Structure 1
Amino acid sequence: MISQELIGKRIIITGANSGIGFETAKALAQKGAEVILAVRDEQKGKHSMNAILKENPEAAIVVMELNLADLTSVRDFANNFSNRYDTLDILINNAGVMIPPYQKTKDGFELQFGTNHLGHFALTGLLLPLLKKTPNSRVVALSSIAHRGASIFFDNLDGSKGYKAMKFYGQSKLANLLFAKELDNRLKQHGISTKCIASHPGISSTNLFKMRKKDAPRYLKALMNVLLQPANMGALPTIYAATEVSLIGGEYIGPDGRGNRKGNPTIETPASGVYHSETMQKLWEVSEKLTGVIYDF
């Protein structure tokens, strides 16, 4: 599955303490990469680091604090990372929140759009100087099948005019997909070797029941495990997007099974008409304005 040598490669994975992010970190560390677990809760991050080290004592794992729902934390992480390291081979924008009750980030953004899109937009822009310095570096942006039928509510990005959790989740995942394509277009326009590739995990049985405090019944979990993907399978599209040498940038990687819900990774075609140039341009401009992060190509 991993088609390139990763020894000596430095990789950031946001939200790497559980689920797909954790499985991605474990697999890439197994192949010799130095993996930075960028996590909101450092204690949980250290627990995940120890779990990886227990299986692979030689793994190079670092835990760093990052709260994508707080732009000050995003800037602090980028500064700390840039002061500590001089290269970045792969940035995997994995972290996300899904269908919470209406909440806002510290900066006043609707929580899903603010965390899933704007936090990663800012992080990527702040780390772009290191990515540009590192030959053939990559950015992987995690989207979702929830982008299908979704829209960007430019007149209601903060949800103040009405909020439906699933619609706003779809908006954030559509934003991830549009950001990935627009970033790759701009990197190519400026002759930069960094590639950006989008991916999605299908539907992972490990994530669906973590949104509520009360856990799902055992029989329902068992059914989900049959119908949907475990986290180690859900991680495969991300791993493929991060490491497959034949990718040129701008692709969308997802599972090859029915409805792209499960299976092995393949290059997937997004929903028809998704890559609308005016929407992509407007989203980019709004994102720069809201985050205050201007990309230096």
Structure 2
Amino acid sequence: MAPSATWTVADLEPLVGKTFLVTGGNLGVGFECALHLARRGASVVIGCRSAARGGEAVTRIQAALGGADVTPGGFVSVTTVDMSDLSSVKAAANSLCGRAHTELHGLILNAGVMMLPRSLTVDGQEVQMATNHLGHFALTGLLLPPFAAAAPAARVVCVSSPAHRRCTDLALDGWTLATGDTPMGAYARSKAADLRFVRALARRLAAAGSPVVAVAAQPGWALTALVDKASPDAWTALFLTVLKPCLSHSAEGGACPLLYAATEADVVADQYWGPSFLQSKGPPAAASSRAGLVLSDEAAAALWAKSEEVTGVSYLG
């Protein structure tokens, strides 16, 4: 195992016989995760809202599986899922549980939206919280059976962001953010929810005696379409423009902390992996800082209860 301080995708160990699901695996950091897992011999399922876009990603990955530095056995497929739509999440989970493979060794909860104007989903949920947290909360619970069957222990990697530090309140009593929030504020709230979710999930898995490991990761400032689609306020946009040249890195670089968290032996439950340089770029490190808001077990339990209420999915109770 290469040390994390120098770790790149080239250091991924062979993953033949293992199955991973990567939500949002059709582009950006998610695509790089799916690509490099498949290149190391894993069976990878890409979760994508569009079957056409997912198919395009599959074609691109398949074309990259013939090189001399590729571990044989890699395979990639797509499952259609809209993480903001709970009926779509539940349908995708049912489909995945019914497929030929009965084990799931890794779930990278990567799909997300960023700094969008407020809108509500078909379920009446604020769109960023629905996509970035609620859909992934439900999907994880619905996929516990194939996780439990996996050997060695499976991993759940939930993708957060340093932006979570800008959240001061998860607004459990003002859940849909009807008034008084901004695109950045709603995004930060959803990413804080991701970290609270991992904390609660890790403790519930341990209490149940499950070998599944729940861990958080963040890609740093990866140059992807997610940033291009954002609608930041003027000050945030100026900040991003000024710092981008010195603090950003590629989508492949952004995938490294996620891949490390999903595969390496020294990863332990409830860690938070991210880039080593100012949490923005560089090789993986388990040193990404968390705001006090997400470190309370009581607060994590409150979010868990709210997530169960809203999604109708209960597990590890």
Counterpart position of 1:115? 131
Distance 1:174 1:290, change over 3 A: same
Instruction: Report the count of equivalent residues.
Output: 289
Please give the secondary structure, in 2, of the residue aligned with 1:197. strand
Match of 2:157 among 140, 165, 179: 140
Match 1:29 to one of 38, 62, 74: 38
1:88 to 98, 104, 112: 104
Structure 1 position 101, deviation (Å): 1.3
| 8 A contact 1:4–1:245 mirrored in 2 | no
Within 5 Å, which residues of 2 pair with 1:1-297? 1=7, 2=11, 4-57=13-66, 59-84=74-99, 85-135=101-151, 136-150=153-167, 151-206=169-224, 207-211=226-230, 224=244, 226-258=246-278, 260-273=279-292, 274-296=294-316
Structure 1 position 288, deviation (Å): 0.3
Gapped runs of 5+ residues in structure 1? 213-219
> 3-state SS of the aligned residue for 1:196?
strand
**What displacement does 1:227 show?**
3.6
Aligned AA for 2:105? D
Change (3 A) 1:4 1:186: farther
Cα distance in structure 2, aligned partners of 1:292 and 1:120: 13
Helix, strand or coil: the match of 2:57? helix
One-letter code aligned to 2:26: N
Distance 1:269 1:60 in 2: 32
Aligned residues of 2:219 and 2:254 also touching (Cα < 8 A): yes
Answer whether contact 1:3 1:245 (CA < 8 A) is retained.
no
Q: What is the CA–CA distance in structure 1 between the aligned matches of 2:28 and 2:37, rounded to whole Å?
A: 14
Instruction: For 1:253 and 1:182, locate their aligned partners in 2 and report how far apart those are by CA, in whole Å.
Output: 17
Q: Is the 8 A contact 1:121 1:287 kept in 2?
A: yes
SS of residue matched to 2:285: strand
Taking a change above 3 Å as real, the CA distance of residues 223 and 290 of structure 1, as seen in their structure-2 partners, is closer
Quote the Cα distance in structure 1 between the aligned partners of 2:91 and 2:114: 25
1:166–1:123: structure 2 CA closer, same or farther, 3 Å change rule? same
8 Å Cα contact 2:156-2:214 kept in structure 1:
yes
SS of alignment partner, residue 86 of structure 1? coil
User: In structure 1, what residue type is equivalent to 2:85?
Assistant: D
Distance 1:156 1:245, change over 3 A: same
Q: Aligned-pair distance for 1:145?
A: 0.4
SS of structure 2 residue aligned to 1:283: helix
Give, in whole Å, the separation in 2 of the partners of 1:52 and 1:3: 17
Structure 1 residue 3 displacement after superposition? 5.0
- Hey, what's the Cα distance between the residues in 2 that align with 1:162 and 1:82? 41
State the AA in 2 paired with 1:60: F
Q: Any conservation in 2 of the 1:205–1:225 contact (CA below 8 Å)? A: no
Q: Aligned AA for 1:284?
A: W
8 Å contact kept, 2:109–2:159:
yes
What secondary structure sits across from 2:306 in the alignment? Answer: helix
Q: 2:220·2:274 contact (CA, 8 Å) conserved in 1?
A: yes
Q: Give the match's secondary structure for 1:256.
A: strand
Q: Distance in 1 between matches of 2:56 and 2:261?
A: 26
Kindly state the Cα deviation for residue 226 of structure 1 after the two structures are TM-superposed: 5.0
Contact 1:201/1:255, CA 8 A, preserved across alignment: yes
Which aligned runs of 4 or more in structure 1 are off by greater than 6 angstroms? 220-223
Q: Which residue of 2 aligns with 1:217?
A: none
> 1:237 aligns to what SS in structure 2?
helix
C-alpha spacing 1:70/1:78, structure 2 compared with 1 (3 Å): same
Counterparts in 2 of 1:241 and 1:208: CA distance versus 1, 3 Å: same
Q: Distance in 2 between matches of 1:243 and 1:52?
A: 19
In the TM superposition, residue 181 of structure 1 has moved relative to its aligned partner by 1.4
Cα distance between partner residues in 1 of 2:171 and 2:243: 35
Give the unaligned 5+ runs of structure 2. 1-6, 67-71, 232-239
Q: Counterpart of 1:16 in structure 2: which amino acid?
A: G
